[in-house]
Amino acid sequence: MSTTPKTENVKLSPMVRRRTAKDIAARKSGEPIVCLTAYITPMAARLDDYCDLLLVGDSLGMVLYGMDNTLGVTLDMMIQHGRAVMRGAKKALVVIDMPFGSYEESKEQAFRNCAKVLSETGAGAVKLEGGIEMAETIAFLVKRGIPVLGHVGLMPQSVNSYGGYGAHGRTENEWQPILDDAQAIAAAGAFATVLEGVAAPLADKITEKTSNPIIGIGASNKCDGQILVTEDMLGLFSFNPKFVKRYMELGTEIVASVEAYASEVRARTFPSDEYTYKMKD
């Protein structure tokens, strides 16, 4: 008698294929690339079905830790949040921001730290800020198997040099250096580039003139994709940048919910019987 189990009625779960840097690179001038930030497991799980790319941004320093800027974020913080996002996201390409000071010193330092991030999180790529000055480092990383998402225009890690977060490229004499930056890192092998805080006509030109996908934030709807900080578009903060559309006012809803909870606790109406345990018979 055969002992082989019958399998004709067994339904196997289909394998879920995670998007890769190569998949994103292939979207140049194609279907727009949908990107959002994610820092924690439950949020990543909720975004995963709708996003092509989830960025574990160093913006977590401001969003989660109340920092004034991103400069105090550490490599260990990025690794821990990268692991959390990877637990929640099964389809989207997960990209980890390299924090300030972790890659600028040399291409060798960049490789060591980027390799550490990818090996300890399982993420699919890293993001570096910088243009022409980072092209050699990006090429070095890509040749050694580390996919890199670039970032030009307004670069938050350079906030002290800029003297703030103002938009760039709002006069034409500012255009060429930003275009040169975008083209340099595309040539170096960045699979895509985040273009932040630039005038729309410049963003259109950069999207047209660069070989890799351009992902806009505060740029133009003609970019190859868009990214926002999730907590911004959900309305968790009172400050709202010009380029952020609020798709809901979650902050207001949270306050209303907590107000209702506090009122019920003080009135001893919560927990009511349906939320308490009864004795066993």
The confidence score (pLDDT) of residue 24 equals 98
Which residues are documented as binding site for Mg(2+)? 58, 97, 129
> How many residues would you count in the chain?
281
Q: What is the pLDDT of residues 96-128, one digit of tens each?
A: 999 999 999 999 999 999 999 999 999 999 999
Q: Read off the CATH number of the domain in which 77 is found.
A: 3.20.20.60
Q: Indicate if the pLDDT at residue 1 is higher than 50.
A: no
Q: What is the pLDDT of residues 39-76, one digit of tens each?
A: 999 999 999 999 999 999 999 999 999 999 999 999 99
State the residue range of the domain holding 107: 21-248
Q: Indicate if the pLDDT at residue 244 is higher than 80.
A: yes
Structure tokens at 74: 């550490």
Query: Which amino acids are annotated catalytic?
Result: 196
269 within domain boundaries: no
The alpha carbon of 107 is separated from its chain's Cα centroid by a whole number of angstroms, namely 23
Are 152 and 181 in contact by the 8 Å Cβ rule? The answer is: yes
- Per DSSP, the residues of 234-273 read TT-SS---TTPPPS--HHHHHHHHHHHHHHHHHTT-SS-G
Q: What is the mean pLDDT of residues 130-158?
A: 94
Q: What is the pLDDT of residues 215-240, one digit of tens each?
A: 999 999 999 999 999 999 999 998 88
181 within domain boundaries: yes
**Averaged confidence pLDDT in the chain:** 93
Q: Indicate if the pLDDT at residue 3 is higher than 90.
A: no
Number of domains in the chain: 1
Structure tokens at 108: 């060798």
Which residues are documented as binding site for 3-methyl-2-oxobutanoate? 58-59, 97, 127
Are 123 and 94 in contact by the 8 Å Cβ rule? The answer is: yes
Q: Is the peptide bond before 201 cis (omega within 30 degrees of 0)?
A: no
257 within domain boundaries: no
The residue to which tokens 């008698």 are assigned: 1
Structure tokens at 212: 């890799």
The alpha carbon of 119 is separated from its chain's Cα centroid by a whole number of angstroms, namely 18
Q: What is the mean pLDDT of residues 177-205?
A: 97
Nearest of 119, 117, 127, 124 to residue 77 by alpha carbon: 117
Cα distance between residue 182 and residue 96, in whole Å: 20
7 within domain boundaries: no
Q: What is the mean pLDDT of residues 193-210?
A: 96
Strands 214-217 and 33-37: unpaired
5 within domain boundaries: no
15 within domain boundaries: no
Confidence class of residue 15 from pLDDT cuts 50, 70 and 90? Answer: confident
Cα distance between residue 234 and residue 228, in whole Å: 10
Are 95 and 149 in contact by the 8 Å Cβ rule? The answer is: yes
The DSSP letter of residue 133 is G
126 within domain boundaries: yes
Q: Indicate if the pLDDT at residue 2 is higher than 60.
A: no
Are 146 and 117 in contact by the 8 Å Cβ rule? The answer is: no
Question: What type of residue sits at position 48?
Answer: D
264 within domain boundaries: no
Q: What is the mean pLDDT of residues 181-209?
A: 97
Confidence class of residue 242 from pLDDT cuts 50, 70 and 90? Answer: confident
Read off the pTM: 0.91
